[in-house]
């Protein structure tokens, strides 16, 4: 990985570390916004309701008056032009299932929406023909003079053809999750998958059964190592240690950053520096968070935990490698520096959460307004009721809108902008 290697090669001495960081900043500052895109002729209220047009305020209004902003770091506000704000606008995010990827996708959707960027979208689905390996004809055809997309962030199964539709200067990122928790989260969320693979979609029954010392957990086909599967590996190859290690080498060359779900905010800080973005660009409200957490099974079901870990050994090798790599990067970035930026970022998130959100509810809550459920909110996950102020605020509406609704809107906007 380009940025990760830039960090890891400069680990000795404060001077060498400073040089490495300097090189990274030069790298991520090369591409500036060229302003070539036309202004949107489609209005958000066409998708999210007529009340949206009452107040088009963005984050600068949520942050408060200038006197209030003095209490925060300069980076917290939207006044980025004065400090040389030249963000990179092209990125490929491989959205791996059940890794917290919907929240990161939401960040990228909002960023591209604000900048009027192009998204690689299917003509009708929110996925790009998953589980087929990606082919460039899965996306809508761009009109001249456009030939490549700015952002790819929807579910697909990776193949190198992705880079045939992404702008050549685009960065590539993905995110991994601890395999045992990834497996259980998928088990609970995808009923059809868990029942077909293991005969039940009841997670407590499943864990209790395999906790027995005499029960041997086996699977056939596509029931394990799902993170490697999304990365393009065949199920049989994911059980081969040598092939998994080769895949890791390919990923090192391919991805500029591999985030770790359990340290999501730390990963966002690294993403912020990779793309030369601001705190406002990476602010979020969590999406697709299941009501019942998957953590703690190692204590409650220790034997089941071990068996699930062994079943997903390919994913485990992958995760352990990139978890170690991730923390090596943070060490070279600087723990104190990271903690400082996390503190600043949390101030931004807390202020926006207080301003926008009245209540966090289940996706089945009947109080959910049309702006949060114009198409679909997953019934198994969280959703948000906006505050009185948030209902009339553009940013708040964007922050709580779920993937399918946002994708439908972006597809219409792309047509209106003349991209497709």
CB atoms within 10 A of CB 237: 17
Q: Given this model, what pLDDT does residue 84 score?
A: 61
Closest CA to 178 of 36, 45, 9, 309: 309
Q: Given this model, what pLDDT does residue 30 score?
A: 37
Over residues 391-406, the pLDDT tens digits come to 889 999 999 888 888 9
In a domain, 383, yes or no: no
Task: Please give the distance of CA 194 from its chain centroid, rounded to a whole number.
Answer: 24
Over residues 193-232, the pLDDT tens digits come to 888 888 888 988 999 999 987 888 876 667 899 999 999 9
Count up the domains in the chain and report the number: 1
Below-50 pLDDT ranges, the chain: 5-58, 60, 63-83, 373-376
Residue 288 CA to residue 363 CA, distance in Å, equals: 9
* Whole-number Cα distances in Å, 40 to 88, 385, 404, 408: 20, 28, 20, 15
Whether the link from the prior residue into 201 is cis, omega within 30° of 0, is no
Q: Whole-prediction pTM value? A: 0.79
- CA 320, 326, 328 angle in degrees (round to 5)? 105
Q: What is the 3-state secondary structure (H, E, C) of the chain?
A: CHHHHHHHCCCCCHHHHHHHHHHHHHHHCCCCCCCCCCCCCCCCHHHHCHHHHHCCCCHHHHCCCHHHHCCCCHHHCCCCHHHCCCCCCCEEEECCCCCCHHHHHHHHHHHHHHHCCCECCCCCCCECCCCCECCHHHCCCCCCCCCCECEECCECECCCCHHHHECCCCEEEEEECCHHHHHHHHHHHCHHHHHHHHCCCCHHHHHHHHCCCCCCCCCCCCCCCHHHHHCCCCCCHHHCHHHHHHHHHHHHHHCCEEEEHHHHHHHHHHHHHHHCCCHHHHCCCCCCCECCCCCCHHHHCHHHHHHHHHHCHHHHHHHHHHHHHHHHHHHHHCHHHHHHHHHHHHHHHHHHHHHHEEEEEECCCCCCCHHHCCCCCCCCEEEEEECHHHHCCHHHHHHHCCHHHHHHHHHHHHHHHCCC
Q: Given this model, what pLDDT does residue 172 score?
A: 99
In a domain, 371, yes or no: no
Whether the link from the prior residue into 392 is cis, omega within 30° of 0, is no
Over residues 340-379, the pLDDT tens digits come to 999 999 999 999 999 999 888 776 666 665 555 444 455 5
Q: Given this model, what pLDDT does residue 401 score?
A: 87
In a domain, 182, yes or no: yes
Q: Given this model, what pLDDT does residue 31 score?
A: 31
Residue 406 CA to residue 417 CA, distance in Å, equals: 16
CB-side neighbour CA atoms (13 Å) of 106: 21
Phi-psi region of 125 (alpha: psi -120 to 50; beta: other; left: phi over 0): beta
In a domain, 280, yes or no: yes
* Whole-number Cα distances in Å, 399 to 39, 173, 390: 21, 21, 10
CATH number at residue 110: 3.40.50
* Whole-number Cα distances in Å, 183 to 120, 223, 309: 28, 9, 9
In a domain, 76, yes or no: no
Q: Given this model, what pLDDT does residue 16 score?
A: 44
Residue 210 CA to residue 216 CA, distance in Å, equals: 7
Q: Given this model, what pLDDT does residue 228 score?
A: 98
Helix axes 264-275, 101-115, angle to 10 degrees: 30
Backbone phi and psi for residue 193, each to the nearest 5 degrees, phi listed first: -70, -50
In a domain, 372, yes or no: no
Range of the domain at 204: 2-58+88-352+402-417
Q: Given this model, what pLDDT does residue 359 score?
A: 85
* Whole-number Cα distances in Å, 323 to 275, 308, 420: 21, 19, 39
Residue 420 CA to residue 413 CA, distance in Å, equals: 10
In a domain, 368, yes or no: no
In a domain, 385, yes or no: no
Q: Given this model, what pLDDT does residue 72 score?
A: 27
Backbone phi and psi for residue 359, each to the nearest 5 degrees, phi listed first: -160, 145
Q: Given this model, what pLDDT does residue 199 score?
A: 87
Residue 102 CA to residue 399 CA, distance in Å, equals: 12
């Amino acid at each position: 990985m380009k940025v990760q290697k830039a960090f890891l090669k400069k680990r000795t001495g404060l001077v060498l570390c400073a040089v490495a960081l300097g090189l990274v900043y030069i790298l991520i500052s090369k591409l500036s916004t060229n302003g070539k895109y036309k202004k949107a002729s489609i209005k958000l209220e066409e998708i999210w309701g007529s009340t949206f047009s009452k107040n088009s305020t963005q984050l600068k209004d949520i942050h408060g008056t200038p006197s209030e902003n003095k209490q925060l770091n300069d980076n917290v506000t939207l006044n980025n032009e004065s400090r040389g704000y030249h963000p990179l606008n092209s990125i490929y995010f491989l959205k791996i299932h059940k890794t917290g990827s919907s929240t990161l996708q939401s960040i990228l959707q909002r960023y591209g929406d604000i900048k009027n960027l192009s998204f690689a979208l299917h003509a009708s689905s929110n996925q790009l023909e998953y589980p087929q390996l990606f082919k460039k004809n899965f996306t809508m055809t761009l009109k001249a003079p456009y030939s490549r997309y700015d952002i790819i962030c929807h579910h697909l199964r990776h193949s190198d053809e992705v880079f045939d539709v992404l702008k050549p200067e685009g960065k590539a990122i993905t995110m991994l999750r601890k395999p045992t928790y990834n497996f259980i989260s998928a088990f609970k969320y995808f009923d059809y998958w868990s029942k077909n693979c293991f005969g039940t979609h009841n997670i407590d029954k499943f864990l209790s059964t395999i906790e027995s010392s005499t029960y041997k957990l086996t699977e056939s086909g596509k029931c394990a190592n799902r993170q490697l599967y999304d990365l393009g590996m065949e199920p049989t190859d994911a059980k081969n240690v040598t092939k998994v290690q080769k895949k890791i080498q390919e990923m090192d060359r391919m991805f500029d950053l591999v985030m770790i779900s359990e340290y999501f905010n730390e990963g966002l800080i690294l993403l912020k520096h990779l793309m030369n973005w601001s705190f406002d660009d990476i602010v979020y409200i969590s999406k697709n968070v299941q009501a019942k957490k998957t953590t703690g099974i190692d204590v409650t079901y220790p034997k089941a935990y071990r068996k699930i870990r062994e079943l997903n050994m390919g994913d485990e090798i992958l995760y352990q490698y990139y978890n170690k790599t991730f923390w090596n990067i943070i060490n070279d970035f600087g723990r104190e520096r990271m903690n400082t930026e996390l503190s600043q970022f949390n101030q931004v998130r807390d202020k926006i959460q207080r301003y926008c959100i009245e209540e966090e509810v289940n996706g089945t809550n009947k109080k959910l307004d049309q702006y949060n459920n114009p198409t679909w909110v997953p019934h198994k996950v969280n959703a948000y009721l906006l505050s009185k102020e948030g209902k009339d605020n553009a940013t708040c509406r964007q922050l709580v809108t779920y993937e399918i609704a946002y994708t439908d809107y972006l597809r219409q906007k792309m047509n209106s902008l003349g991209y497709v």
